[in-house]
Structure 1
Amino acid sequence: MNDRRRIIVGISGATGIAYGIRVLEFLRAADVETHLVVSKAGHLTRSYETELSARELEALADVNYAPADVGAAIASGSFRTMGMVIAPCSIRTLAEVASCVTGSLLTRAADVCLKERRRVVLMVRETPLHAGHLRAMLGATEMGAVVMPPTPAFYTRPRTIQDIVDHTAARALDLFDIETPGVPRWSGRPESAPADDGPSCGARPPIA
């Protein structure tokens, strides 16, 4: 019996594949077994936004699946995992999850996790949002998913885009109780903030 922790990672075609890549890297560092499924549009986004080949992206995971492989292990609830994170999550993927009309292994795996009452984190990447998007978010939430748009936080005073990506990916993994050492957390007041009681943008506590 394999006692190693497992998580399914999905990458869809929305912009922001950097989040999925960083999630995979953090999970490897935490010794969590990763099962990756990337949609056709996800690979297209990979070619637009990174220098990685498909093979290099897949090498970041322990196990890879084709999106059409609906007979894969992760398509069954008897295959035990901690749940699934889709990073990034396109509106189409969100809509399939919310409607239970799953057209690929990517959304079938999410639906399986939800029916088994496992954690599903959807890093929905779209803006602005119309009422249909919001209804889909509500539908997914009502079924137990966590809708987590990759919104940057600035209380950590990020210096690079990578700092922003790291913090957001780490916050997603917090939802699975997976620790990501080295990623800064709010502790009440940044060390570099002034000690007086006056207003300070840097010392303002986080809203979310």
Structure 2
Amino acid sequence: MRQRLVVGITGATGAAYGLRLLQRARELGAETHLILTPAGVLNAHHELGLSRDALEREADAAYAPGDVGACVASGSFASTAMVVAPCSMKSLAAIAHGFGDNLLTRAADVTLKERRRLILMVRETPFNLAHLRNMTAVTEMGGIIFPPLPAFYHHPQSIAEMVNESAERVLELAGLVGATPKSWQGLR
């Protein structure tokens, strides 16, 4: 079976992560399914100059958040993993408390109940206690919290390099074959 990746893009800063995940997953031969929230569209337009249509063209399939009857809302839809990149604190809270009121939070809930990999690239700083408790709750349910913090040991020369490296790490963590994050080689 072809690998399938569900990608959610919410209204937190960092739309470049979601875009790069879609692009790279496609390069790796994975089938991509995008759920783009209204705030995610606003943020992608502000940060990247992209419209909803432009982002949706990066995926094999795209769904409106209100489409709770979409295939990704069911456990019978076998996906390799789901990544929310970026993940707003609102979406984190909804996922942490099982509040599946839209397709993104329902798909995340299904991912957890089916014991598949759910990776949330949470974007906020500093964290307050509610954020930390919600991250703990998702972790206790089997989800993975992955704030997109750049690594500097490979000496990135641009923002694009930092985004690419975070995307590669997430794709490897999601289980996509062929992801190539740079590994620490030790001090020389």
Coarse TM-score class (shorter-chain normalised)? over 0.9
**Counterpart residue number, 2:102:** 104
Within 1, Cα distance between the matches of 2:169 and 2:11? 21
Q: Deviations over 1:76-109 (max 9, x none)?
A: 0011111200000000000000000122101100
Q: Which moved more, 1:49-58 or 1:31-40?
A: 49-58
Identity percentage of aligned residues: 50
Q: Name structure 1 gaps, 5 residues minimum.
A: 190-194, 196-208
**Counterpart residue number, 2:179:** 180
Within 2, Cα distance between the matches of 1:128 and 1:187? 31
**2:140 corresponds to which letter in structure 1?**
E
Per the alignment, in what secondary structure is the counterpart of residue 32 of structure 2?
strand
TM-score, with length taken from structure 2: 0.96
Answer 1 or 2: higher relative contact order, Cα 8 Å, separation at least 6.
2
Per the alignment, in what secondary structure is the counterpart of residue 158 of structure 1?
coil
- Paired residue total: 187
Q: Offset at 1:67?
A: 0.4
Q: Name structure 2 gaps, 5 residues minimum.
A: none
Within 1, Cα distance between the matches of 2:20 and 2:179? 11
Q: Offset at 1:176?
A: 2.0
Q: Offset at 1:68?
A: 0.2
Q: Offset at 1:53?
A: 2.0
Within 2, Cα distance between the matches of 1:92 and 1:124? 10
Which of the residues 153, 168, 171 maps onto 2:169?
Answer: 171
**2:179 corresponds to which letter in structure 1?**
T
Q: Which has the higher helix share?
A: 2
Q: Offset at 1:55?
A: 1.2
**1:176 corresponds to which letter in structure 2?**
A
Within 1, Cα distance between the matches of 2:139 and 2:9? 19
What RMSD, in angstroms, separates the aligned Cα atoms of the two structures?
A: 1.1
Per the alignment, in what secondary structure is the counterpart of residue 25 of structure 2?
helix
Q: Offset at 1:26?
A: 0.7
TM-score, with length taken from structure 1: 0.87
Per the alignment, in what secondary structure is the counterpart of residue 175 of structure 1?
helix
Q: Highest CA radius of gyration, 1 or 2?
A: 1
Within 1, Cα distance between the matches of 2:44 and 2:174? 25
Show the 5 A alignment for 1:96-135: 96-135=94-133
Q: Offset at 1:185?
A: 2.6
Q: Deviations over 1:158-201 (max 9, x none)?
A: 000001001111111111232334x5332224xxxxx5xxxxxx
**2:158 corresponds to which letter in structure 1?**
T
**Counterpart residue number, 2:55:** 57
Q: Deviations over 1:89-132 (max 9, x none)?
A: 00000000000012210110000010000000000000001111
